[in-house]
């Protein structure tokens, strides 16, 4: 038998999932499932025995559950873990805790695992396994919160003259939280974010960010005003655009076709920002696999926007920033540690327009 390039261990308490996931994973001839485990205790023994390159991990298991298993893996091994998450509110909350604890990424289980809908995770799971096997093990940044600063109060936020359009994917939740938590409450620009994430997860993601950041963070809705110090996260399965109008600029969502295999797509947001805001926009492309956002960042540069890409050293996966840098579309290459300060410096001279109450 030909030796496979990527060795995977599947950990799940469901016998059905232990049968289906290997079938999905091995549909890519580049990947081999070397073993399965029904709970965390078995998983740790299998890791010692099999030394997999990547682990897929269910969080809801008997005896040693997924969260404790993840803690043990991150403490004892350097093996990237992809969480296979329940598509529920509780499942989403647990998934974000796992990402904070060092999980590489996640895929959402279909609501009906017995149906033909299992194929909806096939592409994502295979792509993320490949990316995990080639990824850099970037140290977790400690997020130090000033709770006096983060405390939310009713405030009047001015309309933003300048916007930041930001595209991010694998490694994004922790990286985005790190950057946004460093921005002050009176940050003078609006920030619009395309984070590749399934439908049903982005609302909770936005709420978690809002709890730990001085800026306001919410899941975007059509008609949301672009306000200074407001961050809008594109919902899963919706494209996000901006529209500049004389009285107030707003966010627009739509159900147009997938772009670069994604909805939302960073390219869609970037092209919109280039057309509507030009030199009054900043484009940022951060950690992620693939090339989504590269051509859109090029459009922003041609329109007079400042364009920024995250550097390789601090990116979990360097695919998206690399594509923009290699094509000459990134005017600056910035580390994760310097990203928040770079955004503040380049927005500092902005004078907001008339005040609007949130």
Q: What percentage of the chain carries pLDDT values higher than 70?
A: 87
Q: Is 196 a catalytic residue?
A: yes
Residue 351: pLDDT over 80: no
pLDDT for the residue 271: 98
Out of 3.30.365.10, 3.40.47.10, 3.40.50.180, 3.40.50.10490, the CATH code matching 148-349 is 3.40.50.180
pLDDT for the residue 232: 98
Active site residue: 135, 169, 234, 305, which one?
Answer: 169
Phi-psi sector, 288: left (phi>0), alpha (psi -120 to 50), beta:
left
Q: Is 314 a catalytic residue?
A: no
Residue 122: pLDDT over 70: yes
pLDDT for the residue 71: 94
Residue spans of the domains in the chain: they are 6-134, 148-349
pLDDT for the residue 83: 94
Active site residue: 135, 292, 311, 315, which one?
Answer: 292
Confidence of residue 348 (pLDDT cuts 50, 70, 90): confident
For 198-221, what is the HEC assignment?
Answer: CCCCHHHHHHHHHHHCCCEEEECC
Active site residue: 87, 105, 196, 280, which one?
Answer: 196
Q: Select the more confidently predicted residue: 356 or 6.
A: 6
Using alpha carbons only, give the angle 161, 346, 288 rounded to the nearest 5 degrees: 95
Which are the contacts of 298, defined by CB distance < 8 A and separation ≥ 6?
307, 324, 327, 328, 329
86-109: per-residue pLDDT in tens?
Answer: 767 778 889 999 998 889 999 987
167-194: per-residue pLDDT in tens?
Answer: 999 989 999 999 999 999 999 999 999 9
pLDDT for the residue 334: 98
Residue 289: pLDDT over 60: yes
For the residues 217-243, what does the mean pLDDT come to? 97
pLDDT for the residue 143: 57
Q: Is 292 a catalytic residue?
A: yes
The domains spanning 6-134 and 148-349 adopt the same CATH topology = yes
Out of 3.40.50.300, 3.40.50.620, 3.10.20.30, 3.40.50.2300, the CATH code matching 6-134 is 3.40.50.2300
143-156: per-residue pLDDT in tens?
Answer: 555 444 455 656 68
């Amino acid at each position: 038998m030909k030796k496979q390039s990527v060795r995977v261990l599947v950990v799940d308490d469901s016998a059905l999932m232990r049968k289906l996931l290997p079938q999905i994973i091995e549909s890519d001839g580049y990947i081999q499932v070397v073993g399965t485990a029904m709970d965390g205790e078995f998983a740790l023994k299998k890791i010692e025995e099999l030394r997999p390159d990547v682990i897929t991990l269910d969080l809801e298991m008997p005896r040693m559950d997924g969260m404790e298993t993840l803690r043990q893996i991150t403490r004892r091994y350097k093996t990237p873990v992809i969480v296979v998450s329940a598509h529920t509110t509780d499942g989403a909350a647990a998934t974000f805790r796992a990402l904070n604890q060092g999980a590489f990424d996640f895929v959402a289980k279909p609501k009906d695992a017995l149906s033909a809908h299992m194929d909806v995770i096939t592409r994502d799971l295979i792509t993320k396994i490949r990316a995990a096997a080639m990824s850099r093990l970037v140290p977790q940044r400690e997020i130090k919160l000033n709770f006096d600063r983060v405390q939310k109060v009713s405030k009047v936020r001015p309309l933003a003259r300048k916007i930041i359009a930001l595209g991010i994917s694998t490694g994004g939740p922790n990286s985005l939280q790190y950057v946004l938590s460093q921005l002050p409450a009176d940050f003078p620009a609006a920030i619009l974010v395309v984070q590749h994430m399934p439908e049903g997860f982005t609302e909770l993601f936005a709420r978690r960010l809002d709890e730990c950041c001085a800026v306001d963070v919410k899941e975007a809705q059509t008609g949301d005003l672009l306000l200074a110090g407001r961050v809008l996260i594109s919902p899963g399965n919706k494209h996000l655009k901006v529209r500049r109008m004389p009285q107030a600029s707003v966010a627009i969502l739509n159900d147009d076709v997938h772009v670069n295999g994604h909805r939302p797509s960073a390219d869609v947001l970037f092209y919109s920002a280039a057309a509507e805001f030009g030199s009054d926009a900043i484009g940022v492309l951060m950690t992620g696999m693939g090339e989504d956002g590269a051509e859109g960042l090029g459009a922003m540069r041609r329109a007079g926007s400042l364009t920024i890409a995250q550097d390789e050293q601090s990116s979990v996966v360097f695919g998206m920033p690399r594509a923009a840098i290699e094509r000459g579309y990134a005017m600056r290459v910035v580390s994760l540690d310097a990203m928040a300060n770079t955004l503040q410096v380049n927005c500092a001279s902005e004078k907001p327009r008339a005040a609007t109450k949130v």
